[in-house]
Amino acid sequence: MSEVILDQVSKSFSDTAALDKVSMIIPDESFVVLLGPSGAGKTTTLRMVSGLDKPDSGSIVIEGVTVTDHTPAQRNVAMVFQQYSLYPHLTVRENLEFPLKSPLLNTAKKDIGEKVSAVAELLQISHKLDNKVTELSGGEMQRVSIGRALVRTPNIFLMDEPLSSLDAKLRADLRIELKRIQSDSGATLLYVTHDQIEAMTMATHVGVLDKGKLVQFGPPREIYENPVSIYAASRLGQPRINVLPADIFGSAPGGAKFIGLRPEQIVQGRGESATVRRVEHLGDQTRLHLLFNKHEIITVTDAHTELKSGDELRIQPKDAFFFDDQGIRLI
């Protein structure tokens, strides 16, 4: 496994800039998750590293070698596509064998069998090995697609929303499994997702992309606790961070336009009065929708709360974030 470096990588498609001078160091044995809405440049970043697309400018270095002009095969990377992209004319087994039989790896017959059964076991698709891939369910296809990457030992694994079409239970299982594989084997992973739970639980580093720019890169806790902007702060945290006018609780630092409050930054029981509008019991926690000074605030409270709609609740900010008029973090 290897360190991957993106240096000032830019790419545009016709007139729109998909990536704008993105620089990033993906450390060896790290699990890097890219976050951002559609069109932020997450998939483009993956395709740059894979070699499927070439950057307009900038360079990509894998394990100390500049690979900007190398073909995907020369880079020895494995990728899990969002649309599975399983070879429809082959069986599950043949799909899993496909990369191992390539001129790049040219694996011995004996090893192919072993690797395929090990991966099939891991992904619980052993019983489907001789089925045509077109006969599989969406979740099974996605697992085969992950398996096709896992049979290899590439420089880096690239995964484009690999768990998106699985049901909740399987997604939770595979999340743990992927994390385990990564930490056991010391694989380097670059992983694209919309799902912040995946980001928080699996990532060693999170990269936040906004319209082709990398706005923040660091461990998930750091991004959660120390976001550089409203945009970065909104990527992580459930319920989302509340963004309100800076002076809504009175004093605000100079230049501050907005105050950002995560649920744990709202102290309940003292301070100013807010009205409870809705109470959502989620089982392990309860969400409160509050109305404060004509602004809606969503926060979390005790699972067994007695509060109900119409009640009054006192709230007070604690260690809040302040942002300027551009949404850039001040404190």
Partner 1 sequence: MSFSVTEPSNRQKWISGALVIGYAIITLLPLFWIVATGFKSSPDSIAYPPKVIFEPTVEGYVNLFTTQTRLSQDAISEPRKNLSWYEQLVREKGNTIVGPSRFSERFFNSVIIGFGSTFFAILLGTISAYAFSRFRIPLKDDLLFFILSTRMMPPIAVAIPIFLMFRHLGLNDTHAGMILLYTAVNLSLAVWLINGFIDEIPIEYEEAALIDGYTRFQAFYKVVLPQAATGIASTAIFCLIFAWNEYAFAVLLTSGTAQTAPPFIPTIIGVAGQDWPAVAAGATLFLLPVMIFTIILRKHLLRGITFGAVRK
Q: Cα dihedral sign for 246, 247, 250, 254?
A: positive
Point out which span in 47-55, 207-215, 303-311, 322-330 binds partner 1 (CB under 8 A).
47-55
Q: Cα dihedral sign for 213, 216, 217, 219?
A: negative
Q: How far is the CB of 76 from partner 1 (least distance, A)?
A: 8
Is 245 a residue that touches partner 1 (CB under 8 A)?
A: no
Point out which span in 14-22, 96-104, 112-120, 202-210 binds partner 1 (CB under 8 A).
96-104
Measured from the CB atom, the residue of 100 and 215 that comes closer to partner 1 is: 100
Per DSSP bridges, beta strands 57-62 and 4-13 are antiparallel
Say how many residues touch partner 1, by CB under 8 A: 24
Q: How far is the CB of 171 from partner 1 (least distance, A)?
A: 22
Nearest to 263 by CA among 199, 315, 228: 315
Q: How far is the CB of 195 from partner 1 (least distance, A)?
A: 22
Measured from the CB atom, the residue of 79 and 209 that comes closer to partner 1 is: 79
Which residues 147-176 are close enough to bind partner 1 by CB under 8 A? 148
Measured from the CB atom, the residue of 32 and 86 that comes closer to partner 1 is: 86
Nearest to 31 by CA among 192, 222, 165: 192
Task: Tell me, residue by residue from 65 to 84, as one string, x for binding to partner 1 by CB under 8 A and - for no binding.
Answer: ------xxx--xxxx-x-x-
Q: How far is the CB of 152 from partner 1 (least distance, A)?
A: 8
CA distance 326 to 210: 14
Task: Tell me, residue by residue from 101 to 130, as one string, x for binding to partner 1 by CB under 8 A and - for no binding.
Answer: -xxxx-------------------------
Nearest to 144 by CA among 202, 181, 91: 91
CA distance 219 to 207: 9
For the beta sheet containing 156-160, the strands, ordered from the edge strand earlier in sequence to the opposite edge, are 77-80, 156-160, 189-192, 31-35, 205-210, 213-218
- Using CB atoms within 10 A of its CB, is residue 272 exposed (0-12), middle (13-18) or buried (19+)? middle
Q: Binding partner 1 by CB under 8 A: which of 27, 98, 122, 228?
A: 98
Q: Binding partner 1 by CB under 8 A: which of 50, 196, 242, 299?
A: 50
Q: Binding partner 1 by CB under 8 A: which of 52, 112, 122, 200?
A: 52
- Using CB atoms within 10 A of its CB, is residue 194 exposed (0-12), middle (13-18) or buried (19+)? middle
Q: Cα dihedral sign for 113, 119, 125, 126?
A: positive
Measured from the CB atom, the residue of 149 and 256 that comes closer to partner 1 is: 149
Q: For binding to partner 1 (CB under 8 A), which residues are involved?
A: 50-52, 71-73, 76-79, 81, 83, 85-89, 98-99, 102-105, 148
